[in-house]
Amino acid sequence: MAPSTRQKKAVAPGEIRSVKDLRIKIFSDGADLDSIAKAYREGIVKGFTTNPTLMAKAGVMNYLTFARELLRIVEDLPVSFEVFSDDFDGMRDQALKLNTLAPNVYVKIPITNTRRQSAVPLIRELSHRGLKLNLTAIMTLQQVSEVVEALHVDSPAFVSVFAGRIADSGRDPVPIMKQALHLLRTKPRAELLWASPREVFNILQADQIGCQIITVTPDLLAKARNLGKDLEEFSLDTVKMFYEDATKSGYMI
Residue-level pLDDT, tens digit, the chain, 253 residues: 344 444 566 666 666 667 888 999 999 999 999 999 999 999 999 999 999 999 999 999 999 999 999 999 999 999 999 999 999 999 999 999 999 999 999 999 999 999 999 999 999 999 999 999 999 999 999 999 999 999 999 999 999 999 999 999 999 999 999 999 999 999 999 999 999 999 999 999 999 999 999 999 999 999 999 998 999 999 999 999 999 999 999 999 9
Sorted by sequence, the CB contacts under 8 Å of residue 132 that are 6+ apart come out as 78, 99, 105, 106, 107, 155, 156, 157
Question: Do 128 and 163 form a contact (C-beta atoms < 8 A)?
Answer: no
Please name which of 137, 197, 144 lies closest in space to residue 173, comparing C-alpha atoms: 197
Q: Domains of the chain: which residue ranges? A: 15-249
User: What CATH architecture applies to the domain 15-249?
Assistant: Alpha-Beta Barrel (3.20)
**Dihedral of alpha carbons 34, 190, 159, 25, sign:** negative
- Residue 196: which region, alpha, beta or left (left: phi > 0; alpha: psi -120 to 50)? left
d(CA 194, CA 25): 10
pTM metric for this prediction: 0.91
The DSSP output letter for 184 is G
174 — phi, psi (to 5°)? -60, -50
Beta-bridged to residue 27, according to DSSP, are: 47, 215
